[in-house]
Amino acid sequence: MELTKNRAVLDWIDQQVKLTQPDQVIWIDGSEQQLEALRKEACATGELHELNQEKLPGCYLHRSDPSDVARVESRTFICCKKQEDAGPTNNWMDPEEMYAKLHRLYDGSMKGRTMYVIPYCMGVVGSPFAKYGIELTDSIYVVLNMAIMTRAGQKAVPYLDEQFIKGLHARANLDPEERYIVQFPEDNVIMSINSGYGGNVLQGKKCFALRIASNLGRQEGWLAEHMLILGIQNPQGEVRYITGAFPSACGKTNLAMLIPPEGYQKNGWKCWCVGDDIAWIRVGEDGRLWAVNPEKGFFGVAPGTNAKSNPNALATTQKGTIFTNVALNLDDNTVWWEKLDKHPPEHALDWRGNPWSPETAQGPAAHPNSRFTAPAENCPCISPEFNNPHGVPISAIIFGGRRAKTAPLVYQSRNWRHGVFVGSIMASEKTAAAEGTVGETRRDPMAMLPFCGYHMADYWQHWLDMERDIAHPPKIFNVNWFRTDEKGEFIWPGFGENMRVVEWILKRCFDEVGARETEIGYLPNPEDINLEGIDVSRETLAGLLSVDRDLWRKETEGIHSFYAQFGDKLPQALREELAGLEDRLKD
């Protein structure tokens, strides 16, 4: 039964039905009754496996095709009329050519299958931040994940207007050579085919919330960012909010679900997670920036998540969660992954569904990119403001990376323009887990390189232009938890201890502490970071807060070569910031 009489919506769906030729069409109303029926159907066909309902109530396991286990950046396209508008960091194809190619692939792709119509909202329904879309899919897995990750179903339908985001997904035959994840930002259209993996097919996530939304934000004067949102409550009961952008493997989820050190907890400090991955940011009537998390759930990496590294994330997965490509513990019908604990199951099926045990293991039990899709409301530290339609006011923006020697533990930018420069040069040195040479520096400006829906230089200019509208801009910082000693060991303990740095950052935002000016920005005086109850000496901290001029001079060379690819489009302000840094680094 159709949930709307909106002609624009129905005509578009009719076109896609004629193209893909499903046997039937079912509208997703978001009711628990309908979702439960779909779970039962997916278990009957093997698309899902029901887990131990006493230990993991409402939890299921899914295995994707072994060729289809991660986002595929090489098959992800931004298709706008002019190649220049997509920029040098995105794959581009002429929209007409791409539409023609995709139509051939979609033709009859749902024969013998059901098309599910998922109306959904990114953000709180009715919020001034909210945006609405429809995803058409032939996958129950996608339906159930979208029901966790977005506000899906009947409640979104009244808000669908002519501007709704149109999304089409078909598993087709999962051919990796014909796998495409395509955004048409000028048409507000998303099309993905030949994939069943979450990051490629849960279109509300990176496709809509970042690639399409970043373009909408440029047109409408706001920011769609790959950022966590965290509230810090001090002993006086006041909550101050930060956003933070970090490339993968840089501690983003741990910071989003930060647990204060014991001493802080005793003194009454608390942390509240508003979002772990995406922030939509607008200028409020009070001249401050306000942010919402447009998602309703977490799509997290399982391996490495445990009771020590991130107890809040682990607790979030204990009910109503869909696990993808983790191991199945046959002894008690639960799940397991590497570093969950030190007790791998004796009898298990690995992420491919093959028998696995610690003695006979030929490979990992869980895929390194295996995932959990969990409702945010499960999180023990979910913010009371999570569903606030107006979002939360932002005091600080934090950029981070993984640098062994160059970047200090924390520094503050001189102003908004310098902060945009700091975000534009964000970098991480590759670890053994990433493709490429270990130690090689990979730039990932604002952690948006794979997710910006238009030319990266225009994106930086949009950031610079935003300053005109922000009467009270947040302060911008850079952190680096990953400085190493001569043995390659991390010097700063990280995890919950990062609270000590965040405390200093927020004090700076409210002019409660001083700083010393250096060539790269403002650094803490070592005595201003609380070291009580931590095994880090004042001398060690002073070393973490040092600026090596030779390393930074080398850094400027790397920035020049990174900027070169953007040619004349590079904002003049960023050229001037780089020149200023070089001047300050001269002997």
- DSSP string across 47-91: SSEE--TTTSTT-EEE---TT--S--GGGEEE--SSHHHH-TTSB
Q: Which residues contact 5 (CB under 8 A, 6 or more apart)?
A: none
Judged by DSSP in three states, 42 sits in helix
First to last CA, the chain: 74
Which 3 state secondary structure label does DSSP give 7? helix
| SS3 readout for 436-452 | CCCCCEEECHHHCCCCC
The four Cα atoms 554, 548, 570, 402 give a dihedral, to 10 degrees, of 100
Q: Is 372 annotated as a binding residue?
A: no
Quote the CA–CA distance of 22 and 213 in Å, as a whole number: 30
Strands 180-184 and 371-375: unpaired
Tokens encoding 541? 């901290």
120 marked among binding-site residues: no
Cα distance between residue 269 and residue 111, in whole Å: 57
User: Measured between alpha carbons, how far is 485 from 98 in angstroms, rounded to an integer?
Assistant: 50
Does 370 appear as a known binding residue? Answer: yes
Q: Exactly one of 79, 80, 207, 250 is catalytic; which is it?
A: 250
Name 229's Cβ contacts closer than 8 Å, sequence gap at least 6: 241, 242, 243, 256, 273, 274, 275, 279, 291, 292, 293, 392, 394
Residue 47 assigned ligand-binding role: no
554 annotated ligand binder? no
556 is in an annotated binding site: no
369 is in an annotated binding site: yes
Alpha carbon separation from 41 to 34, 61, 385 (Å, rounded): 11, 14, 36
Residue 109, number of CB atoms within 10 A of its CB = 20
- Residue 252 annotated as part of some ligand binding site: yes
Q: Annotated binding residue at 179?
A: no
Cα dist from 224 to 56, 207, 294, 410, 534, whole Å:
34, 12, 10, 24, 37
496 is in an annotated binding site: yes
CB 60 within 8 A of CB 39: yes
Maximum Cα interatomic distance, the chain, rounded to a whole number of Å: 74
User: Is 121 one of the catalytic residues?
Assistant: no
251: annotated binding-site residue?
A: yes
Question: Is 487 one of the annotated binding-site residues?
Answer: no
Please check if 500 is assigned to a binding site: no
> Would you say 71 is a known binding-site residue?
yes
Angle between helix 7-20 and 95-106 (nearest 10): 60
226 a known binding residue? yes
- 250 has binding-site annotation: yes
**How would you label 429-465 residue by residue, b for 16+ Cβ within 10 Å and e otherwise?**
bbeeeeeeeeeebbbbbbbbbbbbbbbbbbbbbbbbe
- 495 annotated as belonging to a binding site for a ligand: yes
Q: Are 287 and 365 in contact (CB under 8 A)?
A: no
**Alpha-carbon span 217 to 208, nearest angstrom:** 12
Residue 347 annotated as lining a ligand binding site: no
198 annotated to a ligand binding site:
yes
Query: Which helix (H) or strand (E) covers residue 291, if one does?
Result: strand 289-292
Could you tell me which residues are annotated as the binding site for substrate? Answer: 71, 197-199, 248, 369-371
Could you tell me which residues are annotated as the binding site? Answer: 71, 197-199, 206, 226, 248-254, 277, 369-371, 402, 495-498
Could you tell me which residues are annotated as the binding site for GTP? Answer: 249-254, 371, 402, 495-498
Could you tell me which residues are annotated as the binding site for Mn(2+)? Answer: 206, 226, 277
Return the active site residues: 250
